[in-house]
Amino acid sequence: MTRVNSKVRNTSTLDIGMRRRLLLAGCAIVGASFAAVPARAQEQAPKQECLDTACTSALRGKVLDSSVAVKGARIAPNVEQEKPGEAGNIPFSISVDGEPVVESKKPEKPGAAPAKPAQVSAEKTPDRQRKADVGLSAVDIQVKFDGLDTKPVLNVSTTPVRRSYRVGEPVRFLATSNYPAFITRSEIRIFEGKDQVTETPAAVIPVAVNGEAGWVMPQTKNDETRFKYVLRVYDDKGRYDETMARPLARTDRELPPENQGKVTDAVAPGMGEDNTALRNIQIYGGAVTVYGRNVPEGYQVRALNDTIPIDPDHAFVMQRILPPGDHDVDVAVLGSLKGSALDFKRQINIPKNDWFYVALADLTVGKRFGDKNIETVRSGEYDDVYTKGRLAFYLKGKIKGQYLLTAAGDTGEDKLGNLFRGLDAKDPRQLLRRLDPNEFYPIYGDDSTVVDDAPTNGKFYVRLDRGDSHVMWGNYKAIIKGTEFMRSERALYGASGVYRSEATTPFGERKTEVTLYAAQPDTLPQRDEFLGTGGSAYFMRRQDITVGSETVTVEVRDSTTNQVIERRSLRYGEDYSFDYLQGMLILKRPLSSSTVTDSPVREGALGGNKVYLISQYEFTPLAGDLDGYVYGGRAQQWFDDKVRIGVTGMNENTGLANQQAYGADIQIRHSEKTFLEGEISHSKGPGFGSSRSTDGGLTLSDIDTTGTRNRAAVAWRAKGQVALEDITKSGMKGTVGAYYEQKQAGFSTLSDQISVDQRIWGAHADVDVTKDVKLNLTYDDFVESNARSEFDGRELGGRTKRKGTASVSKQLNEYWKASFGVSYIDISNPRASSIRKDGYNGSRVDLGVRLEYAPDADHTYYGFGQATVAYSGDLDRGDRIGVGSKFKLTDKIGLEGEVSYGETGVGALAAITYNPTADDSYYFGYRLDPDRAFDLERSYDLSGVDKGSIVFGARRKFDEYWSAYAENNYDLFGQRDSITKSYGVVYTPDKQWTVDGGFEAGTIQDDTIDPSTGLDRSDFDRKAVSLSVGYKDNDKITARVRGEARFEDSDDGTRDRNTYLFATGLNYKTNDNWRMLVNVDAVLSDSSSESSFRDGNYVEASFGYAYRPVDNDRLNALFKYTWLYDAPGENQVSAITGDEYGPSQRSHIMSADFTYDLFPWLSVGGKYGFRYGEVRQRLLEGDRDKFDEWQTSSAHLGIIRTDLHIVKNWDGLLEGRVLHMPEAKTTDFGALVALYRHVGENFKVGVGYNFGSFSDDLRDLTLNDQGVFLNVVGKF
């Protein structure tokens, strides 16, 4: 990183100081003259005002503006606009270190020849560089270069930020990117709202990168008022990147004046934010950032040939990624006055190879000569020969300009065999690290800070990137896509490799893609399915979830066949937030349980397809380490851009979940809408089950895996579709397609659990017969075989579902639209009969009509009616009539409502949304669905009258300091009422303070009777609260407090559990020499049922003080007090020793250390430690999870140490130790001696002997440390 605002230093301080005082005095006189006699300057016509930048004090910045008079001077009025070639003619120049900051042209004498351009004398590159640095600092401009951080940014937005426009109104787009050096052309592509971004756009608008383009909102039908737009940029090889789609809408409303051309707080909307959906352009090189402040009013800043937007605080920032090589970074401050430009040039070299690294290695091998009988007394705790060590390093480097190597690791001090095991073992200390990552790197007594550039749940990370391809060892997501049956996204720790060819197809896919992974996981996958509740809060099945492991998607499924119609991935931060310890997901926008429908015939009261939230994540199991491994991968290849062949395989070996699966797929594509594809997959073994909930996770039903160890199953599918415009030139548009799918019993994947043989097929046709007439035909046929469960013998399967629909719609005129339809359904479900639920066995034929009236783009009114003309079995008649409306009350307020009445009762929908700004939203919704009482997916039945569900909430950013959200969701399902509440607030009053709090609560009041027991079902209450407070003063104080608690209570006591997690820390720099440290960490868990946290308590509180002088570091001293409470629970290891059957203890520990350098070759030090507490050992026989009685234990430890630098490469270490234990009435003496040999500049090797049997860690209660050791230390 190169900073240009470095202070100027020169040995000729007297000369420089004199010149600067004269310079400031001159500036003060000039400024005072203009401030005092403005009239005189106007009267003397031959003498123009000083238009040079030397007189513009607000532009000069820090170096020149030390005088009050100059600081207060204003920019001269704009008397005359500057023309090309003109400049002020007053001979005035200011120079610092021989370089003119600004210099006007000297006036030419009458008749003199034009002055020749000044010849720049040859200077050394460092001198030119230094003068450029000084010049940039003078105007508060900085240039930073980072050759190892190249994060491409691509975005597009309307400017100003708006969504709705009237017909004929111009729409302005701003396209932004930080890699224009790799872009040859760019365009904005506009689509109709119903179309995919892969289809033919409605308009294509060329636009310059970091420039603007315009489009005019067209006249459309009143039911076609929605648009969306993307930015697509191309490189010189035709590859392109593309942003995610943003919405546009046509409105007929007269927008308020403040909404027409209103300039938002964002000077350049979207700049600096990445909104990329598809990335194919290869980016390499380094990132150059130009930023500054104090730009005077009315001035512009240009850098790298682009004008940089200036914010209201007169500051600016821009970043560009440039390829390797030499580059001139031109920075100019431009005004409208004559001669009012400052121009600087900064020469930067972006190297092809760039490295940064730091490392520490420590290895000790020893042999203990302690009491051999300790193995008999404490089985498993004594090792005759031991090895322990620590490896910590960080490395990042760029190779040949296109490869990026990142590696990091910190094993901590541990046994050599455990150094590279995952850190997510069930250890209370690991839980605290997930609660507060700072606990992994404790900082004591110095001003260090930690930046984690290689995040991993393990101890080691290495990754080599080339473009989008990489090989790595560490924490990663194994993403398998391109297949329907074997889709998978798992967060693992192990080896991974991804290859994505630089060549792409015309549709933007990589021609070749290969993904391989292998891991020995310490986590298990979990898949939770939630039917949308209309709200935003969802409780996961598990807690203590691996950070960043989740994959969250929204799936729209057919209400009859359960086929996935649409799948959309959500992004963390933009679409949702996740509390990994609590297992809580909060959506940024509420999720309804079904989609809206415009079909003339409905299957249910509200119609539409079901909407599910799918959350797949990893969690740490309770039963200790997993003994197994997992590997898999996928490869796919496009041939001639028309045929894609892919193969997928995976193998899971984690005990009971052992599973093997593999498959192949093919796609033949003529266009985006004309294709043929097929897939076959094979699975063997149980795999993993999942969970499902209809109330946001308050109650969850586990779906057991259907696979078995000795049974293989196959699934295969085929699907084809033809776009009419691809096969006929008659002008008729639309698509015709069909599919077939078959799955055998026992087929099991993360998304499928098939218990009996299944077969489903269907066909569809969507045809625009004419411009105003559309035809829609669908048919689906689903059949299950009959079978019996291998576990309990109950009957399975036997379901059949057949459904066909036909509808035709006609646009009668500009405002009216009519639709007519017929539907046929024939279903059978033996399970519904067995539990006495009606509505799942029989057939029915319905006729329906729907009439819509859209007077303008903002209002739609509709009515519908349908009647059953034939039916059989226990299906209710589908008779229903209703009305509804959708309209925008204003550009920010939307209303929607529907009410209907039919055979099953009243159905109703109501929604109000208010979005005053992009950051603020308010919403209210009500939903009454009489059909949900018959839903087989619900684990509870309706008792009483269903009053529907109500949700209301808000998200509000009050100002730059406060933001908050709140939501309440009430589900009034007869005598079973549930309430979910979620609240959160973020407060950042300044750069020092940050406060983040959240509260979630869920309550079920269930007055129904459980038919299996005849008893009332139990009420249930869940509350989760979290609060974090951070304070950081760069000079003195860094403090943090974070606490989380979860309380679950049920009337029958079967679901009771309480969990508390707390971490706090304070680092206080009392002065340059003294530092204070305070830490408190706690994990408390109490559960009467299965939980993500085992029962057990761990609390450690510490206070430390350090003396580390800056000017003279001969003396260093540390003091620390610790209070420890460690009570390992079932299957937990000790938080101190790491032993599975470690003792429980309550202790006060105090220590004081000092080191003093008597001579450069001799240092002395001392340590005093004191521990007072109670300890109890585990029982030697019987249940090892139980303890004996508490016993008082105290100890005094004294150490005197001498470090001796003997000769050039030899060091000696001598320690004397004494351990006094009053309760045992013993005093043990010990000594430790070691001799080290330096090998080169980075290594030293030592051998020593510990004559005592005790450790210098008073928390370690095992006496087994006597013996010889070999120690190797390396530093880089």
The three state secondary structure string of 1026-1068 is EEEEEEECCCCEEEEEEEEEEEEEECCCCCCEEEEEEEEEEEE
pLDDT at 67 over 60: no
Q: Cα–Cα distance between 648 and 666 in angstroms, integer?
A: 12
pLDDT at 30 over 70: no
pLDDT at 1043 over 60: yes
Q: Are 210 and 319 spatial neighbours (Cβ–Cβ below 8 Å)?
A: no
Q: Cα–Cα distance between 657 and 753 in angstroms, integer?
A: 13
Q: What is the pLDDT of residue 1082?
A: 82
Other Cβ atoms closer than 10 A to 514: 16
Q: Are 445 and 1118 spatial neighbours (Cβ–Cβ below 8 Å)?
A: yes
pLDDT at 91 over 80: no
Give residue 496's pLDDT band: very low, low, confident or very high (50, 70, 90): very high
Q: Cα–Cα distance between 347 and 330 in angstroms, integer?
A: 9
Q: What is the pLDDT of residue 131?
A: 47
Q: What is the pLDDT of residue 103?
A: 41
Most confident segment among 369-383, 659-673, 992-1006, 1227-1241: 659-673
Say how many residues make up the chain: 1276
Closest CA to 541 of 1049, 1091, 1060: 1091
Rg (alpha carbons) of the chain, rounded to whole number:
36
Enumerate residues 6+ apart whose C-beta is below 8 A from 541: 526, 528, 583, 691, 697, 700, 702
Q: Are 1031 and 1037 spatial neighbours (Cβ–Cβ below 8 Å)?
A: yes
More confident residue, 423 or 461: 461
Which two structure tokens, joined as six digits, stand for 1232? Answer: 């430790």
Q: Are 557 and 612 spatial neighbours (Cβ–Cβ below 8 Å)?
A: yes
Q: What is the pLDDT of residue 54?
A: 35
Range 969-984 average pLDDT: 88
Answer left, alpha or beta for residue 129, where phi above 0 means left and psi between -120 and 50 means alpha.
alpha
3-state secondary structure 280-311: CCCCCCEEEEEEECCCCCCCEEEECCEEECCC
Give residue 11's pLDDT band: very low, low, confident or very high (50, 70, 90): very low
Q: What is the pLDDT of residue 1015?
A: 67
Closest CA to 64 of 34, 37, 102: 102
Q: What is the pLDDT of residue 581?
A: 77
Strands 469-480 and 488-500: antiparallel
Least confident of 429-433, 681-685, 979-983, 1102-1106: 429-433
Least confident of 351-360, 376-385, 451-460: 376-385
Q: Cα–Cα distance between 1006 and 939 in angstroms, integer?
A: 13
pLDDT at 136 over 90: no
More confident residue, 1271 or 286: 286
Spell out a b/e string for 591-611, using b for 16 or more CB atoms within 10 Å of the CB, else e: bbbbbebbbbbbbbbbbbbbb
pLDDT at 56 over 60: no
Q: Cα–Cα distance between 1130 and 1128 in angstroms, integer?
A: 7
497, containing H or E segment: strand 488-500
Q: Cα–Cα distance between 387 and 389 in angstroms, integer?
A: 7
pLDDT tens track for 214-231: 999 998 876 677 899 999
How much of the chain, in percent, has pLDDT values that exceed 90?
A: 23
From residue 32, how far is each of 25, 67, 71, 138 by CA, in Å? Answer: 10, 11, 11, 21
Q: What is the mean pLDDT of the chain?
A: 77
Range 304-315 average pLDDT: 83
Q: What is the pLDDT of residue 1151?
A: 86
pLDDT tens track for 180-209: 999 999 999 999 888 888 888 999 999 999
Which two structure tokens, joined as six digits, stand for 187? Answer: 């365009």
pLDDT at 991 over 60: yes
Range 329-335 average pLDDT: 81
From residue 934, how far is each of 483, 880, 881, 931 by CA, in Å? Answer: 34, 17, 21, 6
Q: Cα–Cα distance between 560 and 801 in angstroms, integer?
A: 7
Closest CA to 1087 of 1050, 1042, 1036: 1050
| β-bridge partners, 176 | 155
Which two structure tokens, joined as six digits, stand for 1086? Answer: 């109490």
Q: What is the pLDDT of residue 1096?
A: 65
pLDDT tens track for 644-656: 999 999 998 876 6
Range 526-537 average pLDDT: 90
pLDDT at 811 over 50: yes
Q: Cα–Cα distance between 602 and 898 in angstroms, integer?
A: 14
Most confident segment among 90-94, 162-166, 241-245, 835-839: 241-245
Least confident of 105-119, 366-380, 1160-1174: 105-119
Give residue 622's pLDDT band: very low, low, confident or very high (50, 70, 90): low
Give residue 1091's pLDDT band: very low, low, confident or very high (50, 70, 90): low
Range 1180-1189 average pLDDT: 60
Q: What is the pLDDT of residue 261?
A: 41
Range 442-462 average pLDDT: 63
Q: Cα–Cα distance between 213 and 830 in angstroms, integer?
A: 61
| β-bridge partners, 984 | 965, 998
More confident residue, 690 or 708: 690
pLDDT at 14 over 50: no
pLDDT at 565 over 80: yes
Give residue 4's pLDDT band: very low, low, confident or very high (50, 70, 90): very low
Q: What is the pLDDT of residue 113?
A: 40
Q: Give the pTM.
A: 0.74
Range 964-979 average pLDDT: 88
From residue 1222, how far is each of 771, 1193, 1198, 1254 by CA, in Å? Answer: 98, 8, 14, 15
Q: What is the pLDDT of residue 220?
A: 81
Give residue 124's pLDDT band: very low, low, confident or very high (50, 70, 90): very low
Q: What is the pLDDT of residue 1139?
A: 46
Q: Are 603 and 591 spatial neighbours (Cβ–Cβ below 8 Å)?
A: no
pLDDT at 1256 over 70: no
Q: Cα–Cα distance between 28 and 439 in angstroms, integer?
A: 54
Q: What is the pLDDT of residue 66?
A: 27
Other Cβ atoms closer than 10 A to 383: 14
pLDDT at 1243 over 90: no
DSSP secondary structure string for all residues of 618-656: EE--SSSS---EEEEEEEEEEETTTEEEEEEEEEEESGG
Q: What is the pLDDT of residue 372?
A: 52
Least confident of 176-180, 698-702, 938-942: 938-942
pLDDT at 492 over 50: yes
Q: What is the pLDDT of residue 1185?
A: 57
Enumerate residues 6+ apart whose C-beta is below 8 A from 669: 507, 642, 643, 644, 675
Give residue 19's pLDDT band: very low, low, confident or very high (50, 70, 90): very low
pLDDT at 335 over 80: no
More confident residue, 66 or 574: 574
Range 463-488 average pLDDT: 89
Q: What is the pLDDT of residue 1132?
A: 41
Which two structure tokens, joined as six digits, stand for 1157? Answer: 């350098």
The SS3 of residue 79 is coil
Q: Are 850 and 807 spatial neighbours (Cβ–Cβ below 8 Å)?
A: no
The SS3 of residue 135 is helix
Q: What is the pLDDT of residue 1203?
A: 87
pLDDT at 110 over 50: no
The residue written with tokens 């050759």 in the block is 147
Q: What is the pLDDT of residue 776?
A: 95
pLDDT tens track for 864-877: 999 999 999 888 89
More confident residue, 937 or 498: 498
Q: Are 914 and 890 spatial neighbours (Cβ–Cβ below 8 Å)?
A: no
Number of DSSP helices (H) and strands (E) in the chain, helices first: 9, 73
Q: What is the pLDDT of residue 1181?
A: 56
| β-bridge partners, 17 | none
Range 151-166 average pLDDT: 89
Q: What is the pLDDT of residue 825?
A: 93
